[in-house]
Structure 1
Amino acid sequence: MSAILSVWHSLLLQTVVKSSSHRSAATGRRRNDGERLSPFACLKRATPTEMENLNQDYQLDSSPRKMNLAHEVYRNEVGKAQTFQAVKKAEISIACNDFNSSEPLPPLGNPDFLHAATEMVLGKSSPAQAVGRVVGIQTKNSIDALALAAQFLRHKTTRDVCLLARPCNPIYWQIFKEAGFNCQRYQYYSDARGELNIYGLVADLMTSPDGAVVVLDACSQHPTGQDPSVDEWKLLFHIVKCKKMLPLIHLDSPGLASGDPNEDAWPVRFFSDCGIDVLCAQSFVKNFGLYNETVGHLMVVLSNVAQVHAFRGQFESMLLDKNAECSSVHSSRIVAKILTDEKLRSEWCQTLKDMHQRVSRMRGEIRKKLAELKTPGNWQNLVKQNGYHLYWNPSRSQIRQLKDRHIYVPSSGRMNLTSVSPTNLDSLAAALNDVMQATKGDVSSDNYFVADKFNTQYFHSV
């Protein structure tokens, strides 16, 4: 037995020596060619987004006066993400509920959440919901809802033209282009007047192709913060109806635009009550402080109740084919609990009002400071903007000069007002004034949102 083991040991040793010599020769050749054995050596570093670059530069900035105005998070007075007491109470109630199921959600999501989300937008007396003309789909956020809607409309229907505002959230263009739509633009904002360009908007929609998908922001339009009035929304509805367009409305965090969720959701409610097909992508992230466990909602209101069964089946089939998963069960339960509990909903609404009032005060203070400094530009319309962002249309030069003053602003010019406080307000106003005075004669063609120029990499949202 010892002799046999000795022979096997000798053969094994010879094999290892030969294998090692082959590897050494191959390694030498690869090293001579400047190559590595690692299978990941061919990977190149991913190009960082604008938001990542801004955050990195901000973190490396040692100035005590630095300000990051580029993020999307609503921050409280001490710079932390806003915490909702109603959310905390809902979490405790949910944790103590022994009847909560651990079963997987249905393909379209948590039924309690879908019902509560739909009722919040359409109201308890909604005719569409009463007769069953509404289909809801739980998503990760409103952007995910938009992407699902774009894919469904392009691959399950004959719609192939999409109308987007100029300017609009740059992610819209990316979503609908990738879905295969022919994206076209309609005028929305006048830089010269610093306000909604309703005449250009109406003219462009009137001359657009019939049957197009038209994407609209229900409130605090991204990035301008300018929204149509009630009468202007009614005019837009008549154009959409006459042109047989399909409205896809983005309702981002209702309650943060005006302080009242019902008021912010009014355009969606008006369109659906008028008996046309409407899609609405909704987010419950910023207006509930659910940044860690996001949740959104895609609501489809059909004009014909007979189409509901087929629509729901087609959407479930698409989600199963894509192996798509719903967002957090926990966050959907939180939203459903708050929206269906009278006391929690009242507390949540009061928090939204307080948040809105804080932003409104800061917006007014900034306008007052810029007026005192006689800063060039259309700052008088700041108080007409909605939401917690301040919009202006800066040039590349102005962005660079603000960065030199330790103020970090995205190329869109959409600045988060919740990062502004009484302690840094004067610094921001002085910096804006200095930059605007220094670039008073700049040509606006250098601005990012002119002539359909988009930097889609900057966007990071929930």
Structure 2
Amino acid sequence: MITTEQTRTSAAAPGSLFGALERQPADALLRLIGLYRQDQRPHKIDLGVGVYRNDAGETPVMRAIKAAEHRLADTQATKAYLGPEGDERFVELLAPIVFGSVKAADPCLTGVQTPGGTGALRLGAELVARGAGRPTVWIGTPTWPNHAPIFREAGLAVRSHPFFDPATGTIDFAAMIAALDQAKVGDVVLLHGCCHNPTGAELTQAQWTDLITLLTERRLIPFVDLAYQGLGRGLDADAATTRALLEAVPEAIVAYSCDKNFGLYRDRVGALWVKAADDGRTAAVRDNLLVLARSLWSMPPDHGAAAVREILEDGVLEAAWKDELEEMRTRIAGLRAELARAEPRLAALADQGGMFAMLPLSREAVLALRTDHGIYMADSGRINIAGLRSETIAGFVAAIAAHLQR
């Protein structure tokens, strides 16, 4: 048996490779998942983990995906490696959904398959780190907790700018623009393409126009995280901002996830596109993407991307996927509307989009709701709206009403 004293001695021993390593805090969301699983109360509600759930509280395999997987099982002839670029046909078919048919054919645009949206973000971060000037990456607050670590682990400097004011439940656009006005030429600005995580708040069209003007005039590089296309306003509406950005700026990066809109969470399916300043630079961008991908994961996993390719190559399956995605989007929007009607202080939720919202709750209130009512959410007050059902909304609203801060 190894004692604590022996562990300390070993850690301090000269030449120890791992002696300088320190314990790291547990991931807050993963810890929350564990606490929820241990709770034996039948009425408990999980609003923490960011996966879509249906009316039965399940995260099913989408019908179109299941059909595509059956087809793959019957026809797939090999499990040989893909190249670092992944399934090129998958990327080719997905591009018009993201960028529209015209922009998808832009010779300045090049894309590769990645392991999920997180893989796309990390690959893009590594590409930025190879670029000129070691730019700073500007990230709004709050944001997905993994954003800043991804860029920092690539060796990049990260600065935050205001985005959402929890006290008012609105975007502090003036403060956002004032902060970004300090960015230097060539800096990177991380933007949520739609369905902001964790707040659900979205810029108005006029605000997007002003932001694009600032990016263009200051020669800043937009890095768009598009992780929830189709779950906010619809496939085309959710991509409108990304398309407008790519039309306006000479260089841009887009990280994309199929995990949510195809329900492929555990299969980790994504893509990264980069727009170069001119088509003469596209080949060099692609070469560097492939070299970096080779060092990060060598070859991306095939199964999920192959299923998406099967769907997008078949008009019937593609229509079925779009119908089911619209069912999911409509369910989320309906839950938002019900919450807004049930509690006036949640009225802003009806005008937001996507799976997430940030409630005006203190950390102490979140802990009390967990202890007293079995309601599990992130300590920040971020909830996954898809974790609710129509029959649980009244009880949920009654439980949080006394704790709301506005």
TM-score after normalising by structure 1: 0.80
CA gap 1:315/1:157 in 2 versus in 1, 3 angstroms:
farther
Corresponding residue SS for 1:400: helix
Q: Which SS does the other structure have where 1:427 is aligned?
A: helix
Identify the residue that residue 148 of structure 2 maps to in structure 1: 173
How far apart in 1 are the matches of 2:177 and 2:365?
32
2:269 is aligned with 1:291 = no
Q: Deviations over 1:415-443 (max 9, x none)?
A: 1112211332221111101323xx77xxx
Partner deviation per Cα, 1:57-88 (whole Å, 9 max, x = no partner): 22222222211110111111111113311111
Rounded to whole Å, the distance in 2 between the matches of 1:186 and 1:390 is 19
* Correspondence for 1:460: none
- Of residues 390, 400, 405, the one that matches 1:432 is 400
Which secondary structure state, in structure 2, belongs to the residue aligned with residue 279 of structure 1? strand
Amino acid aligned to 1:362: L
**Root-mean-square deviation (Å):** 2.5
Aligned to 1:118: 95
Match among 373, 398, 402 for residue 365 of structure 2: 398
1:380 and 2:347 equivalent? yes
> Which residue of structure 1 lines up, in the alignment, with residue 57 of structure 2?
79
Q: Does the Cα contact within 8 Å between 1:363 and 1:390 map onto a contact in 2?
A: no
Amino acid at match of 2:376: Y
In our comparison, the structure showing a higher alpha carbon Rg is 1
Say which is worse superposed, 71-80 or 185-194, in terms of deviation.
Answer: 185-194
Query: CA offset at residue 46 of structure 1?
Result: 6.7
Match of 2:211 among 236, 242, 249: 236
- Does residue 423 of the first structure (1) align with residue 378 of the second (2)? no
Q: After TM superposition, give the deviation of residue 315 of structure 1 in Å.
A: 2.1
1:245 partnered with 2:220: yes
Instruction: Give the match's secondary structure for 2:390.
Output: coil
State the alpha-carbon separation in 2 of the partners of residues 194 and 429 from structure 1. Answer: 17
Superposition map of 1:18-417 within 5 A: 47-97=25-75, 100-126=77-103, 129-258=104-233, 260-274=234-248, 276-320=250-294, 322=295, 324-371=297-344, 378-404=345-371, 405-417=373-385
Aligned counterparts of 2:172 and 2:250: Cα–Cα separation in 1: 25
Cα contact 2:229–2:235 (8 A) shared by 1: yes
8 Å contact kept, 1:256–1:387: yes
Aligned residue-pair number: 395
Please report how far the alpha carbon of residue 131 of structure 1 lies from its aligned counterpart in structure 2 after TM superposition: 4.6
Task: State the Cα distance separating 1:101 from its structure 2 match.
Answer: 4.6
Amino acid at match of 1:60: Q
Cα distance in 2, alignment partners of residues 34 and 103 from structure 1: 47
CA contact (8 A) 1:159 1:213 kept: no
Structure 2: which 5+ runs fail to align? Answer: 12-18
Query: Which amino acid in the other structure matches residue 99 of structure 2?
Result: L
SS in 1 for 2:267: coil
In structure 2, distance between residues paired with 1:60 and 1:174 = 29
Q: Which amino acid aligns with 1:107?
A: P
Alpha-carbon separation, structure 2, partners of 1:275 and 1:58: 45
In 1, distance between residues paired with 2:185 and 2:296?
A: 34
Letter of the 1:388 partner, please give it. Answer: M
SS of residue in 2 equivalent to 1:281: strand
Counterparts of 1:45 and 1:307, CA distance in 2: 44
Matches of 2:376 and 2:92 in 1, distance apart?
A: 41
CA distance in 1, matches of 2:290, 2:300: 15
Structure 2: how far apart are the matches of 1:55 and 1:275? 41
Unaligned runs of 5+ in 1: 1-26, 372-377, 441-462
Offset at residue 257 of structure 1 (A): 1.6
Go from structure 1 to structure 2 and tell me whether the alpha carbon gap of 1:82 and 1:230 turns closer, same or farther (over 3 Å shift): farther
Q: Distance in 1 between matches of 2:362 and 2:286?
A: 46
Query: What letter corresponds to residue 399 of structure 1 in structure 2?
Result: V
Amino acid at match of 2:347: Q
Given that 1:120 and 1:339 are in contact with CA atoms closer than 8 Å, whether structure 2 keeps it comes out as no
